[in-house]
């Protein structure tokens, strides 16, 4: 048997080639047969550019059918797909190209995109990969993969300020998608509304892999807007989103029961869904949002039930094929109801960090338990609630932001003494970035440095200039005090 995820997809697409796979708008639809052909065409162009199985293909392109076909083309050839956020700056991208030791960089930005020697560059438009692929014959081969062969590397930021690449195997991706397909009751009549970016695990694997295995259509939207998603609800049945999707839908007083009448399921994740949002949504539409919990390194870990109570403020039960435990500080199982580290073991757990065995060893116990860095409790019925994070992480609109990375940039600005970057509650993004800085009040200079080096979503939305940062007896900055002090900066 071929463990290549793509082989599993085509297996499900056999006999339903005419069915729409990606619905772009009323005029444009890509069938499963079209998608298979496009994937083969992209595969042929990857091979033509010298890409071999195991080579890293780094991709920073806008959400499009071509981007999906390129992902599938990588699977077909056995290359390792590495998607990057389109908001990343050149400085950020250069780091990924070097770290991944990329064979090919597919960029939407053209030749100025990367200055990294030894990495072949191709653009995705005009004379680039997309045009060449459309003119090419599909390569019919599907690389014979083993379960543990790496299908993708997804970069996830680290507490040291440097991103690390999580290696996900074909079997990791296949098991999570197949489990979700069943758990969330996907059937032949389902139509997924897809408004997420496809450079993260949520939009790419949790959403697309699941429907590709289900061989049913996806309404493929460029991005989220309440208007387009409301319109899509007339034809769709399932929406997967981050909490900001739901707060933005609710912000429109006209949004309600009629919009959601044809929908089967609303799923939320990537960041905590406020209980108020859960209740307001249910009151307005009659649907209880199904909240689930996941991570780049693992895909989905736990989910509220499809049948049964979807409880606000909890992330539900461990996936059927995944063991979850709450560990105390010594790594032993904590008593029921006590807060501890969420750890898991299962077929969805990644194969380690790319060329970073030290970090892998830090986060993975010898007996296979992966330490998530999230703190939580488990009730006696197995329901899991997230209580906080041991990692210094901000989640803004579903994007993860590691303060250390921003502090490093701010601290490099002449005149800055030191800085502390914290996450503060934000009505739209759930939480977002605030920087507390000493030594200078030249906020414009700090903003300029931040803009040059970091993607827009990481930029502090508020700066506070102070004489000194609060420290404990050990000399550690007390971010909890700062979070209390600035807790209301975005209120109202
Ligand atoms: C955009 N901006 C942001 C964010 N998104 N700033 C902070 N946080 C953000 N998330 C910036 C824009 O650059 C813009 O800057 C300004 O904020 C307003 O942009 P707007 O047009 O309102 O934003 P948008 O394009 O509508 O995007 C908001 C969004 C988007 C729809 C919430 O961020 C999004 O799609 N988030 C989903 C992220 C995601 O897929 N996460 C999954 C990670 P300016 O000031 O220049 O106008 S995977 C994961 O977490 C695990 C596996 C899991 O469990 O799922
Ligand atoms: P990522 O780096 O994108 O994989 O982000 C994973 C992190 O997002 C997890 O470790 C959690 O901290 C957070 N997360 C994902 N889903 C939820 C959720 N439903 N509630 C709270 N936090 C979540």
217-237 tens-digit pLDDT = 999 999 999 999 999 999 999
Tell me, what's the pLDDT at 115? 60
Q: Which residues line ligand 1 (CB under 6 A)?
A: 196-197, 200-203, 223-224, 242, 244, 269-270, 294-296, 396-399, 429, 432, 456-457
pLDDT at 117 over 80: no
CA count, 13 A, side-chain hemisphere, 17: 8
326 is written with which tokens? 């709450």
Return the H-helix or E-strand segment holding 100.
helix 90-100
Q: Is 269 in the pocket of ligand 2 (CB under 6 A)?
A: yes
Tell me, what's the pLDDT at 329? 85
pLDDT at 161 over 80: no
Q: What proportion of the chain, given as a percentage, has pLDDT over 70?
A: 97
pLDDT at 110 over 80: no
Measured from the Cα of 293, ligand 1's closest atom is 54
User: pLDDT for 385-440, tens place per residue?
Assistant: 999 988 889 999 999 999 999 999 999 999 999 999 999 999 999 999 999 999 99
Return the H-helix or E-strand segment holding 153.
strand 150-156
Binned at pLDDT 50, 70 and 90, residue 120 comes out as: confident
Task: Give me the mean pLDDT over the 104-125 stretch.
Answer: 74
Q: State the Cα torsion 61-62-68-71 to the nearest 10°.
A: 20
Task: Give me the mean pLDDT over the 156-174 stretch.
Answer: 89
Spatial separation of the C-alpha atoms in residues 367 and 172, rounded to whole Å:
18
CA–centroid distance, 189 to ligand 2, in Å, is: 30
- Which residues touch 206 (CB under 8 Å, ≥6 apart)? 176, 177, 180, 240, 269, 294, 299, 300
3-state secondary structure of 410: helix
Spatial separation of the C-alpha atoms in residues 327 and 315, rounded to whole Å:
17
Q: State the Cα torsion 204-207-210-215 to the nearest 10°.
A: -100
pLDDT at 492 over 80: no
Whose Cα sits closest to atom 29 in ligand 1?
A: 397
23 or 129, which is more confident: 23
pLDDT at 123 over 80: no
Q: What stretches of 285-332 adopt beta strand conformation (E)?
A: 290-295, 299-303, 317-318, 323-327
19 is written with which tokens? 């069915």
Q: State the Cα torsion 412-417-423-427 to the nearest 10°.
A: -90
Binned at pLDDT 50, 70 and 90, residue 175 comes out as: very high
Return the H-helix or E-strand segment holding 166.
strand 164-169
Task: Give me the mean pLDDT over the 338-356 stretch.
Answer: 97
Q: Is 316 in the pocket of ligand 2 (CB under 6 A)?
A: no
Return the H-helix or E-strand segment holding 483.
helix 479-485
pLDDT at 238 over 80: yes
User: pLDDT for 9-42, tens place per residue?
Assistant: 999 999 999 999 999 987 899 999 999 999 999 9
CA–centroid distance, 341 to ligand 2, in Å, is: 14
CA–centroid distance, 279 to ligand 2, in Å, is: 21
CA–centroid distance, 389 to ligand 2, in Å, is: 9
CA–centroid distance, 10 to ligand 1, in Å, is: 32
Tell me, what's the pLDDT at 118? 72
Q: Is 374 in the pocket of ligand 2 (CB under 6 A)?
A: yes
Whose Cα sits closest to atom 21 in ligand 2?
A: 272
Spatial separation of the C-alpha atoms in residues 236 and 189, rounded to whole Å:
9
Tell me, what's the pLDDT at 85? 96
Whose Cα sits closest to atom 47 in ligand 1?
A: 456
Binned at pLDDT 50, 70 and 90, residue 112 comes out as: low
User: pLDDT for 203-219, tens place per residue?
Assistant: 999 999 999 999 999 99
């Amino acid at each position: 048997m071929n463990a290549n995820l793509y082989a599993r997809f085509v297996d499900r697409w056999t006999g339903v080639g005419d069915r729409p796979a990606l619905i772009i708008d009323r005029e444009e639809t890509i069938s499963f047969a079209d998608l298979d052909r496009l994937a083969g065409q992209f595969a042929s162009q990857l091979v033509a550019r010298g890409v071999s199985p195991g080579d890293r293909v780094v991709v920073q392109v806008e959400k499009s059918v071509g981007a999906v076909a390129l992902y599938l083309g990588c699977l077909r050839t056995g290359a390792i797909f590495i998607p990057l956020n389109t908001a990343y700056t050149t400085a950020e991208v250069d780091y990924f190209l070097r770290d991944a030791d990329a064979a090919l960089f597919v960029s939407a930005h053209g030749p100025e995109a990367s200055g990294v020697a030894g990495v072949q560059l191709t653009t995705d438009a005009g004379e680039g990969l997309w045009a060449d692929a459309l003119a090419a014959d599909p390569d019919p081969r599907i690389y014979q993969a083993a379960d543990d062969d790496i299908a993708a590397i997804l970069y996830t930021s680290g507490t040291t300020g440097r991103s690390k690449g999580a290696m996900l195997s074909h079997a990791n991706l296949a098991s999570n998608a197949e489990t979700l397909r069943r758990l969330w009751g996907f059937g032949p009549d389902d139509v997924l509304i897809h408004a997420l970016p496809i450079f993260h695990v949520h939009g790419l694997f949790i959403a697309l892999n699941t429907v590709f295995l289900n061989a049913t259509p996806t309404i493929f939207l460029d991005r989220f807007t309440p208007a387009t998603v409301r319109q899509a609800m007339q034809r769709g049945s399932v929406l997967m989103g981050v909490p900001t999707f739901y707060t933005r839908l609710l912000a429109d007083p006209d949004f309600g029961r009629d919009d959601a009448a044809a929908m089967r399921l609303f799923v939320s994740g990537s960041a905590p869904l406020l209980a108020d949002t859960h209740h307001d949504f249910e009151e307005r539409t009659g649907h209880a949002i199904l909240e689930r919990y996941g991570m780049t390194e693992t895909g989905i870990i736990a989910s509220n039930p499809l049948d049964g109570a979807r409880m606000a403020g909890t992330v539900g039960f461990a996936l059927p094929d995944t063991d979850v435990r709450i560990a105390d500080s010594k790594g032993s199982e904590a008593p029921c109801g006590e807060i501890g580290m969420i750890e898991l073991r299962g077929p969805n757990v990644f194969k380690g960090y790319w060329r970073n065995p030290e970090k892998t060893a830090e986060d993975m116990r010898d007996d296979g338990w992966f330490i998530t860095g999230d703190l939580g409790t488990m009730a006696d019925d197995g329901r899991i609630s997230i209580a906080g994070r041991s990692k210094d992480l901000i989640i803004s609109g579903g994007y993860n932001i590691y303060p250390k990375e921003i502090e490093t940039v701010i601290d490099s600005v002449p005149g800055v003494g030191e800085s502390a970057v914290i996450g503060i509650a934000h009505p739209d993004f759930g939480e977002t970035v605030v920087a507390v800085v000493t030594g200078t009040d030249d906020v414009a200079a700090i903003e300029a440095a931040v803009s040059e080096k970091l993607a827009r979503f990481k930029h502090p939305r508020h700066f506070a200039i102070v004489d000194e940062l609060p420290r404990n007896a050990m000399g550690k900055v007390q971010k909890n005090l700062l979070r209390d002090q600035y807790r209301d900066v975005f209120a109202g």
